[in-house]
Structure 1
Amino acid sequence: MPIETACLQVAILGPLPQIFSYALPENSGPLPPGIRLRVPFGKNSRMGILLGYGDCPPDITLKPIEAVIDTQPLLPQALQRLLHFGAHYYHHPLGNVWSAALPAHLRKGRPLPEVVPRAYRLARPEELPSRPGKRQTALITLLSAPTPVTEIPAPLRPLLQQALKKGWVEARTLPTPQISAQPLPYALNAEQCHAIQQLRHAHGFSCWLLDGITGSGKTEVYFETIRPLLEAGWQVLILVPEIGLTPQLLARAQARFGGEAVAALHSAQSDTERLRIWTRAAMGQVQLLIGTRSTLFVPLPRLACIIIDEEHDPSFKQHQGWHYSARDMAIQRARLENIPVILGSATPSLESLYNVQQGRYQLLQLRQRATNAPLPEITIVPLRRQYLQGGLSSTLLSACRDTLAAGNQVLLFLNRRGYAPAVLCHDCGHVLQCPRCSAALTWHRQQERLRCHHCGHEACWPADCPECHSAALITAGQGTEQLEEVLRQRFTDTLVWRIDRDALPGREGFASILEQIHQNQPAILVGTQMLAKGHHFPAVTLVGIINSDQGLFSADFRAPERLLQTVLQVAGRAGREERPGQVLLQTHLPQHPLIQKLAAGDYQEAAQLLLQERIQAGLPPCTALTLLSAEAHQRAPIQRFLKAARNCAPPSLHISGPQPALLERRAGFERAELWIEAPTRQEMQKALRIWLPCCQQLPEGRKVRWSVDVDPQFLR
């Protein structure tokens, strides 16, 4: 189209479904898609992304843009196409998708920082301060040899800037960091060598499932696979599901490949630090980038391979805002960039196993541990009629005592934070509920607070029961805090570490605890999901699963799969080196088929049984599922909207509901949903493109908050 009759098509950064048109700036040449613009919006200004040019709407005077922020697109074409695909597939506003993909400072319109690597050193001795203070003396000592800015402590950096202005410190540009691979720490076994050989010969787009038991050396397979790529100057992206897994993997990668060209990116960093690493990666100064979900959208101009570690983990699915799966989007990015992608796990998701069966993924298996240590034996501990102390049976307590006496460590897994998951009246049975959610309040004894783990509501311990006014209020059930208390009382001379979100002050606190654990002194580790996967604890020889029954009867059809994965992942922390390990699985249902499969320790057979059940029931992964969720302060408008939405749905969709959500009330909102099923993802997408615009036009939709979750991983 002639540029004289065109207008700019702009996606405003935020949850706005429309694309907005603006007049071209005067005396400007063609602007490339993917740059940031500051545009007038209502009475204010907003940041937007230029999508391209369109025909000017007739009889409308368009507002001109206020400023062009960038001269070049922030993201390359492949990443722009990925974001458009993500907005299209998950039916989410494109502006909000761009917003999720960019660092916070870029969303606010800040320029890209200068990240040329520099080192600083003393310049002219005659310019040095005659009577330097403490900090000046520290800086002078530090800069007696050329020092990169990353090695200069933050308190000294303002002084560094003053010294540069005064001339007694000078800067010089360093060469771009290069990978310097260290030799392998140990000889690889035949299975590892075969996997590396296959992966190194992967060219173009291909998807590989690396199915390796816990301790089989998947990380070394990753590193040896990508070593030739890094040495040749290419870039590699490794995604992990949780921040807690980054310190250990980053330390291993830096020890193997050098520290300058390896970096990690995650939400625990400051916005300034995240932008600096983002920019370094975009300029090619980071060759190996490790990070969580949003790291997927970092521009890497020489990207040669993507690795998704613990690919089964549901944390790869974003549960707020844009409901994307980082695993699935990583596969799509690999397809767009025509590079291989590796999915690694000891307990692969049923979706990945199904894709192997369908010929979409190629399978590589590691069936033996890298250290040749045997897998720990899993023993069922029946709890019926047993006296329990804080949820611990006498069998497990005796095993803990013997393990500590032998100089080893114990890991006890309980996926419940707090002291007790419920508080009830001993006289009338009333359970203290969150006033804003349909959930019981959890008692946190150390903070002396009742807390809702869904909305964050807090309260003090009440003087009496709100129902019958009895003072006989008691706790019910066990959490990690109570388990820690019991263990400290039973093992007074033993270190007990509780590892959950309440006990650790951020990522640094977790890294500090990990350092102490790796000193391999006798200790007890009590933890939640934070300990369940990816960690290597050489001295842990006993793993105790405190409560394995809570995942057996959930209304979420994925609960048995998650129970299987979690228990086997935790079990894999035991006996990873020369010390043999054992696992004690406490249960009130020792004869349950899934418990029996867990005791056998064979994930493949159990997963195949679960997969067959899914296929027979017509559930994912053999079919496509979408949730249409709605919430409001009253139930009536939710029901009216969901019924109206169901009535206008295409006949190709099978819809169940309206039905209450698993958590019917959260943060003061009533919640319900529609289950939408289709035989394939293609048919689902075709129908959603017709149906969702109709839902947006429903007048009933204006009185509720509603959202769409394509391929949901949790029923919430």
Structure 2
Amino acid sequence: MNLKIAKISLFSGMDKELSYLVPKELEPKISKGSMVRVPLRSSTATGVVMEICDNPPQREEKFSLKRIYALVQPEPVLTQDLIKLSLWMREYYGCGLQAIFESLIPSIVRTGKGALELKEVSVVKLPGADELEKLSRRAPQQAKICSFLKNYKEPILKSALIKMTGVGAQAIDALSKKGVIKQQAREVVRSAFDDDLSSAELVSPVPHILNGEQQKALDDINLDIESGEFKTRLLYGVTGSGKTEVYMRAMKSVLENGGSCVFLVPEIALTPQTVGRLRSRLGDCGLVVWHSNLTDGQRLDAWRALARGEARVVVGARSCVFAPVKNLRLIIVDEEHDTAYKQDKNPRYNGRDIAVLRAKLCGCACVLGSATPALETLYNAKNGKYLLSEIRNRIDGRKLPSVFIADMKREKPGTVLSRILCEKIAQRLDNMEQTILFLNRRGYSKIFECPDCGNVEECPHCSISLTWHRREDIVKCHLCGYTAKAPSRCRKCGSEKARWRGHGTQKVEDIVAQMFPSARVGRMDRDAMNRRDNYRRVLGDFRAGKLDILIGTQMIAKGLDFPRVTLVGIIDADISLHMPDFRAAEKTYQLIVQVAGRAGRGDGNGEVVIQTLKPESAPIQYAKRDDMNSFLEEELRNRTEFSYPPAMRLIRQIFRSRSEQKLAFYTEQFARAAEKELEGICQIRGPSPAPLEKSEDFYRWHIWYFCPSVKPVVAAILGLKKKFPMDEDIDDVLDVDPMSLM
């Protein structure tokens, strides 16, 4: 008997494929991408079928191959394009398939959990009156069940039968063995579409009339889709230009022609608004939601609906790009510049870049949308690698907001809200209009500093200062989560002169409440959004006009549309300029433009107040003038001069150890070995301590590799790691195309 051979990659961490025989009875059910259970030594393991061969490889003919035990999920857990994608990610990001599978396949699916099943009881043949009387003497509980079931012609849940009769499960099982009744499991069909966003904000199903720029962009995207070929298009559109309307029409066209769509957004906070809009416009397309706040049950339902082809649109954050969509014809990445698309643990992928690659593997269209495109994306568009469509005007002829710069050096020391910002907030309250105040810093105050000894209260586990959360009167590390009671004096010298400096969103909230006591104020940051539905509730209240002022961090800067907002205040606009990061200017520019874009999206004109200590800095001046091209040209010149991306590719290798001395020594030795091993294929800078020198009790050093091509360098680094005698107390990770250099 000539059995087929399956090459299986296991979830157990063994980073090589093993061969198993496919039993004849499983051959029709098993294909590439199937999840199976197999014997492994004296135990069992689960894995994915990566390949099926008719004949075993020569080197394995002398071995007796074991057989696959069982198929775990009825649907393949990986589509054909996702199998290719996982193999590409292994080479490009330099990590094992196990870590990749953890991103591609939800944990609830990997555990083998199937559909929810309930046991039902139905009558086969009930005993007559005489038999029932005898049964009542012999087995009164069984007789009680029979008497009860006389009135039930339809199946009844076993749990309900036990509850209503008070009998035990053993009596039901005994009757089942006698053939009086039968028990069978029924799959519970839960709707994958009844998620917690099913009642999200809806918009009119009647589409707006597109302006000329929108129509041109839509025509371009539709041509990409109709070509049936891989194409990536950057859709650059100023804030409030109606990019979402273009997305929805392109998706509708795909659905009408039998295709499916993936729609990525950077933040969970954007999901309710996006889902509401799409469900209103796209109708009964089977839209499912995909993000980290889903319950296991919701995630399983969504995954099964996509794997079976019942759902044809999936909306969600970064991991949504791996959804098992059938007949994928369009991928949209909204706010493509956003750093939230980059994962900070293995595999350290960028959802935007993976979207482009998946579109290539599927031969479909990919649209990258933004009002502030990443420099790398714009570089690809200018060089012809990506296509480009532009929408330079807001819809309905609405004007971009007027921008005012408040130089905080001219305000009193310690001022949080400038005079001009306070005046404009008061005007909005008088006019019953809304205000957004943005500060990208959580907590109440950032630094507890002693003037006598100069000590700053730091986390004992990380090299950053502790933040004061006044309501709980605790200090918290926003890296590792360490908390302690807030100090009242310097812990080092005991001085009572130590004071808190700086301000976060909690302090701004208190100041606003004191200055404008009649205002209804909401706050949106990670601390306030600690429950699953909090972000949806706060956004819903703000949209409904139940709040006058919304204070928040980065999550309010992206893509949200509030027609009543006519004022945006950006507090400490230059925070990100101080970061030791070659992207600092770009991130500052993007953040200012994105936050400013929340103003004036309705009928009223918008205004923006930018508070800064560096009003002359390039990103702030270019953002004020809305001159993206000049800013990006200057930024590209600066990057090219120092070989930073996009001029070159960057790989960052981060080393960690609890021993500072060992870390410094071994990282230096590895860098010397790398200079010899990688000579001619990259430039090496470092090693040096990372800007965030200590995190969660681990000291951190890093090496930077600048190269024209990633894969050869990653392969060389992995090869060097195998033969380098690294101390067991030191671990390292590769971060390809890093978005943070901390």
TM range (shorter): 0.7 to 0.9
Distance 1:338 1:414, change over 3 A: same
Secondary structure at 1:24 match in 2? strand
Query: Could you list the per-position Cα deviations for residues 478-523 of structure 1 after superposition, in whole angstroms to 9, with x for gaps in the alignment?
Result: 0000000011011111101111111124341111111111123661
Partner of 1:434: 459
| Unaligned segments of structure 1, at least 5 residues | 116-155
User: What corresponds to 2:696 in structure 1?
Assistant: 667
Give the letter for the 2:321 counterpart: L
Contact 1:39 1:45 in 2 (8 A): yes
CA distance in 2, matches of 1:41, 1:668: 37
SS in 2 for 1:403: helix
User: Does the CA contact (< 8 Å) of 1:488 and 1:496 recur in 2?
Assistant: yes
Q: Could you say which residue in structure 1 is the equivalent of 2:713?
A: 687
Distance 1:488 1:41 in 2: 63
Alpha-carbon distance in 1 for matches of 2:488, 2:616? 43
Residues 542, 29 of structure 1: alpha-carbon distance in 2 compared, 3 angstrom cutoff: closer
In the alignment, the residues of structure 1 paired with residue 499 and residue 666 of structure 2 have an alpha-carbon distance, to the nearest angstrom, of: 42
Deviation of 1:17 (Å): 5.7
What is the rounded CA distance, in whole Å, between the counterparts of 1:385 and 1:556 in structure 2? 28
**Separation of aligned partners in 2, 1:348 and 1:513:** 28
Give, in angstroms, the shift of residue 334 of structure 1: 0.5
For 1:349-364, list aligned pairs within 5 A: 349-364=374-389
1:315-352 per-residue CA deviation (whole Å, 9 max, x = no partner) reads: 11111121011111111111111111000001000011
Alignment of 1:337-376 (within 5 A): 337-376=362-401
How far apart, CA to CA, are the structure 2 residues paired with 1:72 and 1:289?
A: 18
Offset from partner CA, 1:643-694 (integer Å, 9 cap, x none):
333214320221111111110000000000110111x22xx31232133122
- Shift of residue 709 of structure 1? 0.8
Farther-moved stretch of structure 1 (61-70 vs 392-401): 61-70
- The residue identity in structure 1 corresponding to 2:712 is K
Are 2:711 and 1:711 equivalent residues in the alignment?
A: no
Q: How does 1:110-149 map to 2 (within 5 A)?
A: 110-111=113-114
SS at match of 1:700: coil
Amino acid aligned to 2:482: H
Residue 312 of structure 1: CA displacement? Answer: 0.3
Q: CA 1:207–1:701 in 2, change beyond 3 Å: closer, same or farther?
A: farther
Hey, what's the Cα distance between the residues in 1 that align with 2:611 and 2:159?
57
Question: Taking structure 1 as reference, are residues 29 and 63 closer, same or farther at Cα in structure 2, changes over 3 Å only?
Answer: closer
1:625 deviation in Å? 0.5
Q: Is the aligned partner of 1:511 residue 2:550?
A: no
Q: Secondary structure at the match of 2:395?
A: coil
Q: Which residue of 1 aligns with 2:78?
A: 75
The share of aligned pairs that are identical, in percent, is 34
Q: Which residue, 212, 215, 225 being the options, matches 1:193?
A: 215
Match of 1:656 in 2: 685
Equivalent pair of 1:387/1:394 in contact (CA under 8 Å): no
Change (3 A) 1:526 1:159: farther
- Shift of residue 182, structure 1, vs aligned partner: 7.3
1:78 Cα deviation from its structure 2 partner: 1.5
Contact 1:408-1:522 at 8 Å conserved across structures: no
Which residue in 2 is equivalent to 1:287?
312
Using a 3 Å threshold, how does the CA distance of structure 1 residues 173 and 620 change in structure 2: closer, same or farther? closer
| Residues 445 and 502, structure 2, Cα contact 8 Å, conserved in 1 | yes
State the partner residue of 2:92.
Answer: 89
Do structure 1's residue 631 and structure 2's residue 683 form an aligned pair? no
Q: Give me the whole-angstrom Cα distance separating, in 2, the residues matched to 1:93 and 1:495.
A: 51
- Structure 1 residue aligned with 2:146: none
In structure 1, C-alpha distance between the alignment counterparts of 2:370 and 2:192, rounded to whole Å: 34
Whether the 8 Å CA contact 2:566–2:606 is kept in 1: the answer is yes
**Alignment of 1:18 onto 2:40:** no
C-alpha contact 1:389 1:486 (8 A) present in aligned 2:
no
C-alpha contact 2:192 2:302 (8 A) present in aligned 1: no
Asked if the contact 2:192–2:305 (Cα under 8 Å) also holds between the matched residues in 1, the reply is no
Aligned mate of 2:110, from 87, 107, 110: 107
Mapped to 2, the partners of 1:459 and 1:690 lie a distance apart of: 45
**Cα distance, 1:267–1:381 mapped onto 2, change above 3 Å:** same
- For residue 304 of structure 1, give the secondary structure of its aligned residue in structure 2: strand
Separation (CA, whole Å) in 1 of partners of 2:524 and 2:328: 36
Post-superposition offset of 1:615: 1.6
Q: After superposition, where does 1:142-541 map in structure 2 within 5 Å?
A: 184-202=206-224, 203=227, 204-258=229-283, 261-387=286-412, 391-520=416-545, 523-541=548-566
More divergent stretch after superposition (601-610 vs 616-625): 601-610
Match of 2:534, SS? helix
Give the Cα separation in 2 of the matches to 1:324 and 1:427. 46
Write the distance in 1 (CA, Å) between the matches of 2:252 and 2:533.
Answer: 29
Distance in 2, matches of 1:93 and 1:340, equals 29
Stretch moving more, 214-223 or 80-89 = 80-89
Greater shift, 237-246 or 388-397, is seen at 388-397
Segment drifting more, 632-641 vs 51-60: 51-60
The amino acid that maps onto 2:302 is: I
Distance 2:312 2:5 in 1: 39
Partners of 1:49 and 1:676 lie apart in 2 by 33
* 1:358 Cα offset (Å): 1.1
Deviation at 1:37, TM superposition (A): 2.7
Partner of 1:582: 607
1-structure distance, mates of 2:639, 2:513: 44
The 1:472/1:462 distance shift into structure 2, 3 A limit, reads same
State the Cα distance separating 1:385 from its structure 2 match: 3.9
**Contact kept in structure 2, 1:540 and 1:574, CA below 8 Å:** yes
Alpha-carbon separation, structure 2, partners of 1:398 and 1:208:
43
| 3-state secondary structure, aligned to 1:454 | coil
Compared with structure 1, are the counterparts of its residues 545 and 71 closer, same or farther at alpha carbon in structure 2 (3 Å cutoff)? closer
User: Does 428-437 or 546-555 show the bigger shift?
Assistant: 546-555
TM-score by length of 2: 0.84
TM-score computed with the length of structure 1 as normaliser: 0.87
Q: Do the aligned partners of residues 43 and 704 (structure 1) sit closer, same or farther apart at CA in structure 2, a change above 3 Å counting? A: farther
The answer on 1:49 being equivalent to 2:48 is yes
Give the Cα separation in 2 of the matches to 1:206 and 1:268. Answer: 32
Structure 1 residues 697, 58: closer, same or farther in 2, change over 3 A? farther
Give 1:91 shift.
Answer: 1.1
1-structure distance, mates of 2:663, 2:39: 35
* Aligned position for 1:128: none
Aligned counterparts of 1:566 and 1:176: Cα–Cα separation in 2: 35
The one-letter code matched in structure 1 to 2:685 is: S
CA deviation after TM superposition for structure 1 residue 638, in Å: 2.2
Q: How far 1:88 sits from its partner (Å)?
A: 1.6
Any unmatched runs of 5+ in structure 2?
A: 119-156, 165-180, 194-202
Residue 378 of structure 1 contacts residue 601 of structure 1 at CA under 8 Å; is this kept in 2? no
The alpha-carbon distance between structure 1 residues 463 and 514, as it changes in their structure 2 partners (threshold 3 A), is closer
- Asked whether the equivalents of residues 542 and 581 of structure 1 are also in contact (C-alpha less than 8 Å), the reply is yes
Name the amino acid aligned to 1:400.
I
Q: Quote how far apart the aligned CAs of 1:84 are.
A: 1.2
Closer, same or farther: CA 640–700 of 1 in aligned 2, 3 Å: farther
* Counterparts of 1:353 and 1:372, CA distance in 2: 26
1:553 corresponding residue in structure 2: 578
One-letter amino acid matched to 1:553: H
**1: CA distance, partners of 2:43 / 2:255:** 46
Aligned to 1:127: none
Instruction: Assess if the C-alpha contact under 8 Å between 1:209 and 1:344 holds in 2.
Output: yes
> Does the 8 Å contact 1:244/1:507 carry over to 2?
no
> How far is the alpha carbon of 1:63 from its aligned partner?
6.5
Write out per-residue CA displacement over residues 61-112 of structure 1, whole angstroms, 9 at most, x where no aligned residue: 7776554424663222112111111122111101221221112121112236
